[in-house]
Amino acid sequence: MKKLTVELKDRSYPIIIKDGALNEVKALLDEHLGTGRRHFVITNKTIAKIYKNFLDGFKNVVTIDDGEEFKNFKTFEFIIGELLKAKIERGDCIIAFGGGVVGDMAGFAAASVLRGVDYVQIPTTLLSQVDSSVGGKTGFNHPLGKNLIGAFKQPKLVIIDPKTLDTLDKRQIKTGLGEVLKYAFIEKTATDKDFRMFDYLKSLQKKATGNLYENLKSHWQEIIYMSVSMKAAVVSKDECEKGLRAILNFGHTFGHAVEKITDYKKYTHGEAVAAGMVMAFRAALKRKLIDDTYFREAVNLISSYELILDDMKNFDKEKMFEAMKSDKKVSHAKIKLVLPFKPLEVQLFDDTEELLIKDSLL
Ligand code: NAD
Ligand code: GLY
């Protein structure tokens, strides 16, 4: 078992990472949130089938449709309706049980119903275990863009059971790995601790005989621990993304553009972020922020995790650039890019020339 804390003064909260933690959820809730509270679980139809036994242990379960396309106002309204019909009270507690979609929607429901109730994250995808369940970003999509409606609302507790990844398909594991690799490249900017995640991931890849993804199964606890430790460290220093937290978007400005010009259908978020990180490394090399040795090592690591797909090349430069200009993070018409400037260190730059950006695209 691994335990850490997101330090946010009176809103600090623990993250528990343990194989089999699902079997101890009731005890953990009582221990960390007190006894006698009613729990309202929010999940989706797919997870409800796979984890029926676990969910049977709860009286109030709200089940939403599965998919990013349901991360919208209608589903939000449905969740709030179900909570109100079941007479949720201020002292009750919402539990998000699922991936990032369920987590973001349940978190926002907790931020808004009755002007706010406590909630707990029990993430079940790799992406949600290493990223979205920690840090308090909640919300849903608007037809005009992703995640445009929401609030910062920190959970009271995060319970991560890496065993839930056993039921996840390889594509979803890959999308989480995109974010995992991101932490390896931002380690020295994110934390003073010396995890050496880059070397760790490199050694896992080297040691893997046969199937790399099979081999990862016995390392999830460590990988998740290193990842969320970095996320927790960044969130503790900059909860509302006034500055430092932007480093968590390493690879994302390029990546979001890849997702946008391919209608969010062709690649998963993690694959797009992986391609985005390669583009960020190319931009940093062209700007002479990093040397060729680090560039090669970094790009090799991303490729060795099978995250760059064969058809990830010849992206339309004009379309990509237009998509990058419409990114949420653009300010005063300047494209902001998180770029590496030393091994394992990144920084936000808003002065990268248009030509150089276009030249860095895959
Ligand atoms: P997701 O929630 O759509 O889950 C992916 C798929 O896996 C779904 O079909 C889901 O039903 C299924 N699934 C979940 N757990 C499973 C399990 N254990 N076994 C089998 N199937 C399972 O996708 P995601 O990648 O977890 O999250 C993506 C979402 O997260 C996006 O909406 C994104 O905007 C959001 N996000 C939020 C933050 C944040 O900080 N709040 C950060 C990153 C991403
Ligand atoms: N996933 C980026 C963040 O939480 O800030």
**pLDDT 10s digits, 78-91:** 999 999 999 999 99
In this structure, of 44-53, 273-282, 292-301, 322-331, the range with the lowest mean pLDDT score is: 322-331
**How many Å is the maximal CA-CA distance in the chain?**
61
pLDDT at 223 (0 to 100)? 97
Which residues are marked as active site? 115, 137, 179, 231, 241, 245, 249, 252, 256, 269
Which of 54, 65, 66, 127 to mutate for ligand 1's pocket (most ligand atoms within 8 Å of CB)? 127
The residue-averaged pLDDT of 103-129 equals: 98
pLDDT over 70 percentage in the chain? 98
- Ligand 1, CB cutoff 6 Å, lining residues: 44, 46-47, 50, 66, 68, 71, 98-102, 104, 124-125, 127-128, 131-132, 135, 137, 146-147, 164, 167-168, 172, 175
Question: In the structure encoding, which two tokens stand for residue 354, read together?
Answer: 């248009």
Residue of the CA atom closest to atom 43 of ligand 1:
132
Query: Does ligand 2 have an atom closer than 6 angstroms to the CB of 248?
Result: yes
Residue 210 has pLDDT above 90, yes or no: no
pLDDT-derived band of residue 75, with 50, 70 and 90 as boundaries? very high
Q: How many helices (H) and strands (E) does the chain have?
A: 15, 11
249 C-alpha to center of ligand 2: Å? 7
What is the enclosing helix (H) or strand (E) of 356? helix 354-360
125 C-alpha to center of ligand 1: Å? 6
Query: Does ligand 2 have an atom closer than 6 angstroms to the CB of 329?
Result: no
Query: Residue 260's Cα: distance from chain center in Å?
Result: 18
Residue 121 has pLDDT above 70, yes or no: yes
pLDDT at 206 (0 to 100)? 72
Task: For residues 346 and 343, give the distance between their C-alpha atoms in angstroms, rounded to a whole number.
Answer: 8
- 200 CB contacts (<8 Å, ≥6 apart)? 184, 222, 223, 226
In this structure, of 75-84, 144-153, 201-210, 235-244, the range with the lowest mean pLDDT score is: 201-210
Residue of the CA atom closest to atom 40 of ligand 1:
132
The residue-averaged pLDDT of 279-288 equals: 97
Q: Say which residue, 178 or 310, is predicted with more confidence.
A: 178
Task: For residues 192 and 315, give the distance between their C-alpha atoms in angstroms, rounded to a whole number.
Answer: 37
Instruction: Pick the closest to residue 231 from 5, 35, 69, 9 (CA basis).
Output: 5
Cα end-to-end span (Å), the chain: 41
126 C-alpha to center of ligand 1: Å? 8
- Would you call 166 exposed, middle or buried from its count of C-beta atoms within 10 A (0-12, 13-18, 19+)? exposed
Residue 245 has pLDDT above 80, yes or no: yes
In this structure, of 63-67, 165-169, 201-205, 340-344, the range with the lowest mean pLDDT score is: 201-205
In this structure, of 30-34, 65-69, 279-283, 310-314, the range with the lowest mean pLDDT score is: 310-314
Which of 63, 101, 264 to mutate for ligand 1's pocket (most ligand atoms within 8 Å of CB)? 101
Span 313-333, pLDDT tens digits: 899 999 999 999 887 666 667
Q: Answer whether 68's CB lies under 8 Å from 269's CB.
A: no
* Of 249-258, 302-311, 323-332, highest mean pLDDT: 249-258
Angle, CA of 124, 221 and 309, to the nearest 5°: 70
Task: For residues 123 and 205, give the distance between their C-alpha atoms in angstroms, rounded to a whole number.
Answer: 25
pLDDT at 326 (0 to 100)? 81
224 C-alpha to center of ligand 2: Å? 15
Q: Classify 119 as helix, strand or coil.
A: strand
Residue of the CA atom closest to atom 4 of ligand 2:
135
Q: Answer whether 91's CB lies under 8 Å from 37's CB.
A: yes
In this structure, of 57-66, 78-87, 143-152, the range with the lowest mean pLDDT score is: 143-152
pLDDT-derived band of residue 177, with 50, 70 and 90 as boundaries? very high
Residue 351 has pLDDT above 70, yes or no: yes
**Residue 3 CB neighbour total at 10 angstroms:** 10
Ligand nearest to the CA of 70: 1
pLDDT-derived band of residue 146, with 50, 70 and 90 as boundaries? confident
Residue of the CA atom closest to atom 37 of ligand 1:
132
267 C-alpha to center of ligand 2: Å? 20
pLDDT at 208 (0 to 100)? 64
Question: In the structure encoding, which two tokens stand for residue 98, read together?
Answer: 């699922």
Q: Say which residue, 212 or 327, is predicted with more confidence.
A: 212
In this structure, of 2-11, 326-335, 343-352, the range with the lowest mean pLDDT score is: 326-335
Residue 209 has pLDDT above 70, yes or no: no
pLDDT-derived band of residue 205, with 50, 70 and 90 as boundaries? confident
Q: Classify 130 as helix, strand or coil.
A: helix
The residue-averaged pLDDT of 148-173 equals: 96
Strands 39-44 and 60-64: parallel
354 C-alpha to center of ligand 1: Å? 33
Q: The tokens 């940093």 sit on which residue? A: 284
**Residue 359 CB neighbour total at 10 angstroms:** 13
Residue of the CA atom closest to atom 4 of ligand 1:
99
- 167 CB contacts (<8 Å, ≥6 apart)? 50
Residue 230 has pLDDT above 90, yes or no: yes
Residue 253 has pLDDT above 70, yes or no: yes
Encode burial over 233-243: b for 16+ CB neighbours within 10 A, e otherwise.
bbbbeebebee
Q: Answer whether 323's CB lies under 8 Å from 257's CB.
A: yes
